[in-house]
Amino acid sequence: MRALDRAIEKIESTKNARQRAVAPPDASNTPYTPNAELREDDRVKVPDFPLEVFPERIRRVVEDCYTMLSYPRDFTASGILATAAIAIGRTCKAIYQWEETGCVYMAIVAPPGTAKSHPLTFALHPVIMANKAAIRDYNRAHKELADSGEADTGALRDKQCLFGDFTIEALIKSASRNRRGISVYMDELFGFFQNFNRYNAGSEQEFWLSNWSGTPYAVTRMQRKYYLEWPAISILGTIQPSRLEELGKGGRSQNGFTERILFCYPDQVPIIRLRKRMERSDTRHILLKNYTAIINVLLDKQLELVGTDTEEEDKAWDIFFSPEADDYLTDYINALKKDMEEKIENEYTLNVYSKMQTYCIRFALLLNRLDYACACQENTDFPPTDDQTIRLEQIQRAAILSEYFLKHALKAQNAISGATPLDKLPRDQQQYYRSLPIGQEITTAMLEQKAIPYKGISRATLFRLLNEPNPERRIFAKLRHGVYERIY
């Protein structure tokens, strides 16, 4: 617990530091521009995923995936957090001064070839298997009804919980049939965002805004009506850094959509050597077996049945905060509000802080359920009593998660709203560019000399950068023949 204690102590001290990471813009309606000092190294410095927030069994899974399967810790840990939200679905609610589900919108941000998809596939494996079985059972039941001449298949129970390609109407229809909850997983989230409103202008984006907020949603069609009291459909996927600028288009940066996304955007994804067959043995199979047993505890949890025999309905299990946890959460949210009032003028940053108040409650719910699921695996003969109370140390861990994702959201926004042609260059070219002096003339001879340590900067590449014909992609200003200056 010492690492956890140290992390808790850092929460207050990091608040001032995180304010310095983003420059407050002026009060006009001009687009947000990153601080010049920040642009110099082009990074909001972000922390590594705080593994101490997880129960020990989950921490071991993340570490074993890193050492034996070469999965970056941040990606595996973020994937497991999102998987917990997907597995819980609509079965539980955290009761504070308002109600919150475990719904999350999670985006893993990293360049191609950095092993970001494999950790998510691993984390989602229990859900993928449950989804596969549900689709098989539904198709079998549908065929049996069709063979018997039954025309109406609308009453079939559909337990499909994971979707990749869909229309909003079909998604809502499935959510009404599987009241336990559904989710969306797309390996490339850019395609998902790009397809917003492909059928109904404006309605799809509005649905996802309402879904995150837990607003009831109704769809009326000629043949049928669907009503979702609280959809809570989680989203998980990956996106490349070069695509982040596109994420802010289509009004998504103005309507609060991007602020709802939890970004996992590490400063540097470690390059981990692969282990040979004899070294890794049957590691993945063993890891999946142990990890799946934990997530299956969450997947097996059903909605509570309330009412009479003739009018039963499903109800989520209520998870309450202990008095100490409630007080700590209130203090933490008020600290965020104080920063919003006194230090922040950037509208996007204000919205991120606002959403993190909500996410802190959701993280507490997810950690409470993961703690219970792990306890069940440790007591297989005598399962523990389901403790439906969020304790003080759980909300403390949730606050640490909020700080982590707050930093990553600010870094992502730097790319969404402040992208330059430099952002779209390969890493070695960016590093070379930043090694050049700022605000002074640079000759071609100096440029070539500086390029020697960088293997990816050939003479042809250098002169292509210097003589870029497209002004929107130019990173050097030509002062006169053979003399240039950095633009960024």
> pLDDT: is 78 or 113 the higher one?
78
> Among 194, 216, 191, which Cα is nearest to 205's?
194
- Predicted local distance difference test score (pLDDT) of residue 87: 95
Task: Identify any residues that bridge with 304 across adjacent strands, giving them in sequence order.
Answer: 315
> pLDDT: is 72 or 204 the higher one?
72
- Predicted local distance difference test score (pLDDT) of residue 185: 94
- Predicted local distance difference test score (pLDDT) of residue 58: 97
What is the token pair recorded at 128? 């993928």
Helices 283-300 and 347-378, axial angle in degrees (round to 10):
100
> pLDDT: is 366 or 344 the higher one?
366
Query: Which of 54-58, 139-143, 199-203, 240-244 is modeled with the greatest confidence?
Result: 54-58
What is the token pair recorded at 64? 């074993």
68-86 residue pLDDT tens? 888 999 999 999 999 999 9
Distance CA 12, CA 37 (A): 24
130-150 residue pLDDT tens? 999 988 988 888 788 877 776
User: Is the pLDDT confidence value at 117 over 80?
Assistant: yes
User: Is the pLDDT confidence value at 308 over 60?
Assistant: no
Give the pLDDT band (50/70/90) at residue 320: very high
> Among 370, 390, 395, which Cα is nearest to 320's?
390
Which residue, chain included where needed, has tokens 């403390």? 396
What is the token pair recorded at 292? 């799946």
* 33-47, 309-323, 370-384, range with the lowest pLDDT: 33-47
User: Is the pLDDT confidence value at 282 over 80?
Assistant: no
Provide the sign of the torsion angle of the four alpha carbons 52, 54, 55, 56, taken in this order: negative
Q: Which helix (H) or strand (E) segment is 389 a member of?
A: strand 389-390
Backbone angles phi, psi at 333, to 5 degrees: -65, -40
* 66-80, 97-111, 144-158, 216-230, range with the lowest pLDDT: 144-158
Residue 487 CA to chain centroid, in angstroms? 33
pTM of this prediction?
A: 0.78
Distance CA 112, CA 187 (A): 12
- Predicted local distance difference test score (pLDDT) of residue 32: 30
Q: Is 246 helix (H, G, I), strand (E, B) or coil?
A: helix
What is the token pair recorded at 374? 């792990």
Task: Identify any residues that bridge with 217 across adjacent strands, giving them in sequence order.
Answer: 228
Pairing status of strand 442-443 against strand 483-486? antiparallel
- Predicted local distance difference test score (pLDDT) of residue 348: 78
- Predicted local distance difference test score (pLDDT) of residue 137: 87
What is the token pair recorded at 200? 């109904």
446-470 residue pLDDT tens? 999 988 888 778 889 999 999 988 8
pLDDT (mean) for 9-22: 47
> pLDDT: is 238 or 418 the higher one?
238
> Among 129, 88, 82, 38, which Cα is nearest to 236's?
82
- Predicted local distance difference test score (pLDDT) of residue 471: 82
- Predicted local distance difference test score (pLDDT) of residue 215: 85
User: Is the pLDDT confidence value at 25 over 50?
Assistant: no
**Is 276 exposed, middle or buried, given 0-12, 13-18 or 19+ CB atoms closer than 10 A?**
exposed
Give the CA count within 13 Å in the CB-facing half-sphere of 231: 27
Concatenate the DSSP letters of all residues of 319-388 into one string. Answer: EEEPHHHHHHHHHHHHHHHHHHHHT---HHHHHHHHHHHHHHHHHHHHHHHHHHHHHHHHTSSSPPP---
Q: b/e map of 69-84 (b: 16 or more CB within 10 Å)?
A: bbbbbbbbbbbbbbbb
Domain boundaries defined on the chain: 2-419, 424-486
- Predicted local distance difference test score (pLDDT) of residue 141: 84
User: Is the pLDDT confidence value at 90 over 70?
Assistant: yes
Give the CA count within 13 Å in the CB-facing half-sphere of 420: 18
Query: Which of 219-228, 279-288, 394-403 is modeled with the greatest confidence?
Result: 394-403
- Whether residue 319 contacts residue 390, with contact meaning beta carbons closer than 8 Å, is answered with yes
Which residue, chain included where needed, has tokens 């229809």? 173
CA distances from 257 to 307, 335, 347, 411 (A): 37, 24, 13, 16
351-392 residue pLDDT tens? 899 999 999 999 999 999 999 999 988 766 666 677 789 999
> pLDDT: is 323 or 18 the higher one?
323
CA distances from 307 to 95, 313, 314 (A): 21, 6, 9
Distance CA 147, CA 193 (A): 40
Q: Which CATH number fits domain 2-419: 1.10.1760, 2.20.110, 3.40.50, 1.10.3470?
A: 3.40.50
Give the pLDDT band (50/70/90) at residue 22: very low
Distance CA 180, CA 161 (A): 9
- Predicted local distance difference test score (pLDDT) of residue 40: 36
User: Is the pLDDT confidence value at 18 over 60?
Assistant: no
Task: Identify any residues that bridge with 289 across adjacent strands, giving them in sequence order.
Answer: none
- Predicted local distance difference test score (pLDDT) of residue 38: 34
State the CB neighbour count (10 A cutoff) for residue 251.
12
Residue 478 CA to chain centroid, in angstroms? 41
> pLDDT: is 99 or 311 the higher one?
99
Pairing status of strand 162-163 against strand 183-188? parallel
- Whether residue 294 contacts residue 57, with contact meaning beta carbons closer than 8 Å, is answered with yes
248-269 residue pLDDT tens? 665 565 567 889 999 999 988 7
Long-range contacts of 294-297 (CB under 8 A, 24+ apart): 294/57, 294/58, 294/370, 294/373, 294/374, 294/376, 294/377, 295/83, 295/84, 295/87, 295/126, 295/127, 295/373, 296/126, 297/372, 297/373, 297/376, 297/377
Distance CA 252, CA 243 (A): 14
User: Is the pLDDT confidence value at 91 over 60?
Assistant: yes
Query: Which of 35-39, 122-126, 445-449 is modeled with the greatest confidence?
Result: 122-126
pLDDT (mean) for 233-253: 80
CA distances from 392 to 48, 320, 321, 330 (A): 23, 12, 8, 12
> Among 19, 105, 39, 17, which Cα is nearest to 475's?
39
